[in-house]
Structure 1
Amino acid sequence: MTPVEDVAAQKRALRVEAARRRDALDPSDRSLDSLAITRHALAFLPEERHAVAAYLAIRSEVDTGLLVSLLRQTGRVVGVPAIEGEELRFRRISEGDALEPQGFGTNAPGAEAAEIAPAVILAPLLAFDGAGRRLGYGRGFYDRAIARVRQGGPVLVVGLGFSAQLVERVPTDERDQTLDAVITENGVLVPSAAASRTR
Structure 2
Amino acid sequence: MSALPSKGDLRKTALDARDAMEVAARAAASEKLGARGLPFEVAAGAVVSGYSPIRSELDPVPLMQKLAAQGAKLALPAILGRGKSLVFRAWLPGDRLTMGPLGILEPSPAAAGLIPDIMLVPLAAFDGLGHRIGYGAGHYDFTLAHLRKLKPITAIGLAFAAQEIKAVPALAHDVSLDYVLTEKKAFDFRNL
CA drift of 1:43 comes to 4.2
- The residue that corresponds to 1:191 in the other structure is 189
Map 1:132-171 → 2, pairs under 5 A = 132-171=130-169
- The residue that corresponds to 1:44 in the other structure is 39
In structure 2, relative to structure 1, the CA distance for the partners of 1:192 and 1:78 (3 Å cut) is closer
Percent identity, please: 35
What are the Cα deviations for residues 103-154 of structure 1, in whole angstroms up to 9, with x where unaligned?
3331111111111111101101110000000110000001111111111121
Q: What letter corresponds to residue 171 of structure 1 in structure 2?
A: P
Higher helix residue share: 1
Q: What letter corresponds to residue 46 of structure 1 in structure 2?
A: E
Counterpart Cα distance in 1 of 2:8 and 2:38: 34
Contact 1:123/1:159 (8 A) holds in 2: yes
Counterpart Cα distance in 1 of 2:49 and 2:73: 9
* 1:60 and 2:56 matched: yes
Counterpart Cα distance in 2 of 1:144 and 1:192: 20
What are the Cα deviations for residues 18-63 of structure 1, in whole angstroms up to 9, with x where unaligned?
11111011111111111111123x2424331211111121111111
* 1:21 and 2:14 matched: no
**Residue 52 of structure 2 aligns to a residue in which SS?**
coil
Contact 2:14/2:164 (8 A) holds in 1: no
CA drift of 1:95 comes to 4.1
CA drift of 1:65 comes to 2.1
- The residue that corresponds to 1:99 in the other structure is 97
Map 1:64-79 → 2, pairs under 5 A = 64-79=60-75
In structure 2, relative to structure 1, the CA distance for the partners of 1:84 and 1:43 (3 Å cut) is closer
- The residue that corresponds to 1:3 in the other structure is none
Contact 2:35/2:62 (8 A) holds in 1: no
**Residue 100 of structure 2 aligns to a residue in which SS?**
strand
Q: Any unmatched runs of 5+ in structure 2?
A: none
Counterpart Cα distance in 2 of 1:37 and 1:157: 16
Q: Following superposition, which runs of at least 4 residues in structure 1 exceed 3 angstroms of deviation?
A: none
* 1:118 and 2:107 matched: no
**Residue 103 of structure 1 aligns to a residue in which SS?**
coil
Computed over aligned residues only, the root mean square deviation of the Cα atoms, in angstroms, reads 1.9
Q: Any unmatched runs of 5+ in structure 1?
A: 1-5
What are the Cα deviations for residues 155-182 of structure 1, in whole angstroms up to 9, with x where unaligned?
1111001111100001121111100010
What are the Cα deviations for residues 69-99 of structure 1, in whole angstroms up to 9, with x where unaligned?
2322322111111011233111111243221
In structure 2, relative to structure 1, the CA distance for the partners of 1:84 and 1:130 (3 Å cut) is same
TM-score (norm 1): 0.87
Counterpart Cα distance in 1 of 2:153 and 2:120: 11
Counterpart Cα distance in 1 of 2:112 and 2:99: 17
TM-score (norm 2): 0.90
**Residue 122 of structure 1 aligns to a residue in which SS?**
strand
Counterpart Cα distance in 2 of 1:15 and 1:146: 21
